[in-house]
A = this chain, B = another copy of it.
Amino acid sequence: MDLYAAIRGRRSVRRFASASIEPAVLERIIDAATWAPSGGNAQTWRFVIVTEQARIAKLKTVSPGLIGEPGAVVAVCQDLAAARAKGSALGEVLLAPCDAAMAAQNLLLAAYAEGLGTCTVASFTHRAVARLLKLPETVEPILLVSVGVPDETPKAPARKTEGIVHWEVYGG
Binding site for B on A (CB under 8 A): 1-4, 6-8, 10, 12, 27, 30, 32, 34-37, 39, 41, 43, 45-52, 55, 77, 90, 94-95, 97-102, 104-106, 108-110, 113, 120, 122-123, 132-136, 139, 142-143, 157, 159-160, 163-172
Contacts and interface: CB of A to CB of B under 8 A. Distances in A.
* Stoichiometry, copies per complex: 2
A95 B122 contact: yes
Contacts of A10: 35, 37
A32 B2 CA distance: 13
A76 to B, nearest CB: 10
Contacts of A48: 166-170, 172
